[in-house]
């Protein structure tokens, strides 16, 4: 997969940028407090269930990415992306699987996260 904009893949380790990324610079896309709260609530439940163990947040020029890992040495299981350029068309939020398949895309973060927020159903 080749990225045209010059940004590296969010799943790669970027130690130098992590140290300088304490506060995102202007012009970067970020998650707001409510979005991050919803994502971290889901993450906390899945960590408690023993399914997920690590995460990474990347604030790029054109999108914000929350990557979820089963183990920190692997590729992300899911990537939750916020891309404001798609807000009017398909929706700014998307959940992307390890293979690159977009599992769900939409305007509402809560509805998009339902694809990975599995609740047991009574049969």
- CA dihedral 107→59→41→35, nearest 10 degrees, is -40
Coil, helix or strand at residue 36: helix
* Residue 103 belongs to some domain of the structure: yes
**Parent domain of 48:** 27-113
Number of domains the chain contains: 1
Q: Which of 58, 51, 99 is nearest to 80 (CA)?
A: 58
Sheet holding 78-82, edge to edge: 54-59, 64-69, 78-82, 93-97, 102-106
* Residue 76 belongs to some domain of the structure: yes
* Residue 51 belongs to some domain of the structure: yes
| Torsion over CA: 107, 61, 19, 54 (sign) | positive
**H/E run at residue 18:** helix 15-20
- pTM of the full structure: 0.73
As a residue count, the chain comes to 123
- pLDDT, residue 105, reads 93
- pLDDT, residue 11, reads 52
Hunting for tokens 């914000």 — which residue is that? 64
- pLDDT, residue 50, reads 87
Residue pLDDT tens, the chain, 123 long: 444 555 556 555 554 454 444 555 567 888 899 999 999 999 999 999 888 999 999 998 999 999 999 876 778 999 999 998 888 888 899 999 999 999 999 999 999 999 988 766 666
* Residue 59 belongs to some domain of the structure: yes
- Helix-strand-coil split of the chain, %, nearest 5: 25, 20, 55
* Residue 16 belongs to some domain of the structure: no
Tokens of 15: 């130690």
- pLDDT, residue 117, reads 83
| Torsion over CA: 100, 104, 110, 116 (sign) | negative
* Residue 101 belongs to some domain of the structure: yes
* Residue 13 belongs to some domain of the structure: no
* Residue 4 belongs to some domain of the structure: no
């Amino acid at each position: 997969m080749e990225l045209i904009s010059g940004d590296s893949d969010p799943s790669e380790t970027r130690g130098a940028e992590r140290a300088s990324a304490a506060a995102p610079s202007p012009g970067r896309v970020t998650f707001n407090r409510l979005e991050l709260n919803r994502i971290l609530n889901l993450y906390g439940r899945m960590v408690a269930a023993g399914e997920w163990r690590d995460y990474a947040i990347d604030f790029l020029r054109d999108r914000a990415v929350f990557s979820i890992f089963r183990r920190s040495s692997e590729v992300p299981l899911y990537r939750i992306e916020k891309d404001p350029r798609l807000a009017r068309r398909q929706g700014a939020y998307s959940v992307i699987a390890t293979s690159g398949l977009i599992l769900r895309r939409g305007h509402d973060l809560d509805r998009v996260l339902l694809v990975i927020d599995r609740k047991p159903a009574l049969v």
